[in-house]
Amino acid sequence: MRRWLVIIVTFLAGVYFFAEFFLPKHIVLGGTDFMWSRYDSRILDIVRVMFVPAMLLGIINILRVHGFMVLRRRKGWVNSLALLVAMFVTMISGFWGYFGENEAAASFFQQFLFRGMMNNLGSAMFSLLAFYIVSAAYRSFRVQNFEAGLMMAAALMVMLGQIPLGFFISEKIPVLRNWILTRISTPAFRGINFGALIAGLAMAVRMWLSLERGSARAGGR
């Protein structure tokens, strides 16, 4: 029964948001102006109510999984401990800023966490990823066939067009770089995004109709 209840609720919710997106905001029915979007605030309240226990379940799951790793000293338990400490420190800073009396100290602590630590850690992570990108580019740009040679030539023109050396070599290199990016790269990315959007739409329709086995089985448990 729970499985069919999940399927019915999912289908009705999909019908509402589908109709709310395509139909106009005001519909005249029998001489009465029916405002379709007047239920949005109520639905958003329901979503907020459902979000709170979902977030609580996520916190419990993190504590269960990573707490078990720390207690049993499994491989990588130091990373799990760092995650738990960061989570609790962030939660304390949020509650301090909301319930605390010293707003200046709470704001300074939050700025220290996000601007002083989070941004710098993100920059350090992306700087380490640069070495992996260079390694992948070296493996990809090895000229083994015509396609690899064409890709290497295009990448070389784009990189030379980004730096003053390319303009010093020839004034046509920046023009060629712009042509590659606007005439070749941009349409290719649009095609990829178009295909990804179609795949996402197909997945959304399958979830709407409860054709995905994972969501249907989860509701029946």
Rg of the chain on CA atoms, in Å: 27
Q: What is the pLDDT of residues 47-101, one digit of tens each?
A: 788 888 888 898 999 999 998 888 888 888 999 998 899 888 888 877 776 666 6
- Looking at residue 8, what is its pLDDT? 84
- Looking at residue 191, what is its pLDDT? 92
Q: How far is CA 213 from CA 3, 12, 177, 216, in A?
A: 11, 19, 47, 5
- Looking at residue 216, what is its pLDDT? 47
- Looking at residue 143, what is its pLDDT? 65
- Which of the 8 DSSP states describes residue 38? G
Instruction: Report d(CA 6, CA 137) in Å as an integer.
Output: 47
Q: Is the distance from CB of 26 to CB of 36 less than 8 angstroms?
A: yes
Q: What is the pLDDT of residues 103-158, one digit of tens each?
A: 677 677 777 887 778 888 888 888 888 777 777 777 766 767 777 777 778 888 88
pTM tops 0.85, yes or no: no
